[in-house]
């Protein structure tokens, strides 16, 4: 996808706090409901299907996924476990509006609207609320997700599904990697992540000198590091560990368009 041109683009989800009653116990519970996203930019270039462009300035719109049409969802109703793509739209004249769509390329535009610009995407999770999300131009910092919990990982390149962590339009993913070795005669925890099953690999390792296993000794070593990996196959990366029984955990912190 060729991104539409913008300047000083900022996008964030809007949190609204409230109170409800637990249906099982009758106790009051606090909740956070996220169903809106706020988009601002100094300027943005919109385009018609035929390629005609229009420059819009001073963008400031709020889009609500629970409403339908302009400044809402293009079709249907809000659904859990769904990526919603953020669009800025306009008619040939007048101010711009916002739109959310499950489409990253062809949203259903409201009547009279012919110009559109792609902004980004955010996830409506399994609990049916939009994740906490902040976008600065092409860089996104979002609610942390965990596609791989701490587990003994394969020593062969293995695909990691990121479909609930990054949108299909992401060009790279920002990871927090945790490695764990039970030592057992070796003192290196080595993990490898890459965009394809043949790499190129980002290697992350920790060596611990002078530790011994046994009574009073250290029987495991854990480390945490961050890495950004470009995406070759949408919503997927590959990983492996260097030694059998070494463990790996992957968190996703954000992505880049």
Average pLDDT over residues 151-175: 95
Domain range summary for the chain, segments of one domain joined by +: 6-137, 141-256
Q: How many CB atoms sit inside 10 A of residue 213's CB?
A: 13
Most confident listed range (208-212, 213-217, 224-228): 224-228
Judge contact between 13 and 119, C-beta under 8 A: no
Q: Which CATH superfamily is domain 141-256 in?
A: Nucleoplasmin core domain (2.60.120.340)
* Greater pLDDT, 217 or 229: 229
Report whether pLDDT(2) > 50.
no
Average pLDDT over residues 188-209: 79
Report whether pLDDT(104) > 90.
yes
Report whether pLDDT(12) > 90.
no
Rg (CA), the chain: 22
Cα–Cα nearest to 205, from 238, 246, 244: 246
Average pLDDT over residues 211-228: 58
Tokens of 108: 């259903």
Report whether pLDDT(195) > 90.
yes
C-alpha dihedral, 115 to 120 to 126 to 128, nearest 10°? -50
């Amino acid at each position: 996808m060729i991104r539409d041109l913008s300047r000083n683009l900022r996008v964030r989800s809007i949190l609204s706090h409230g109170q409800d009653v637990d249906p099982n116990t009758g106790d009051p519970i606090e909740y956070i409901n996220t169903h809106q996203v706020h988009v601002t930019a100094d300027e943005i270039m919109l385009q018609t299907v035929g390629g005609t462009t229009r420059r819009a300035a001073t963008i400031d719109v709020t889009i609500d996924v629970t409403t339908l049409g302009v400044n809402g969802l293009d079709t249907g109703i809000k659904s859990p476990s769904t990526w919603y793509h953020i669009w800025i739209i306009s008619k040939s004249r007048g101010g711009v509006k916002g739109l959310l769509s499950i489409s990253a390329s062809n949203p259903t535009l409201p009547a009279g609207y012919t110009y559109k610009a792609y902004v980004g995407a955010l996830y409506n999770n399994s609990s049916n609320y939009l994740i906490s999300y902040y976008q600065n131009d092409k860089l996104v910092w979002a609610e942390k997700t965990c596609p791989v919990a701490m587990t003994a990982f394969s020593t062969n390149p293995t695909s990691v599904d990121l479909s609930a962590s990054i949108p299909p339009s992401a060009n790279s993913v920002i990871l927090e990697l945790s490695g764990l070795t039970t030592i057992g005669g070796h003192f290196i925890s080595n993990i490898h992540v890459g965009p394809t099953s043949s790499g190129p690999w980002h290697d992350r390792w920790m060596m611990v000198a002078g530790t011994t296993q046994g009574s009073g000794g250290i029987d495991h070593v854990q480390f945490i590091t961050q890495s950004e990996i470009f995406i070759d196959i949408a919503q997927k990366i590959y990983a492996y560990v260097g030694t059998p029984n070494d463990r790996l955990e992957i968190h996703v912190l954000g992505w880049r368009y």
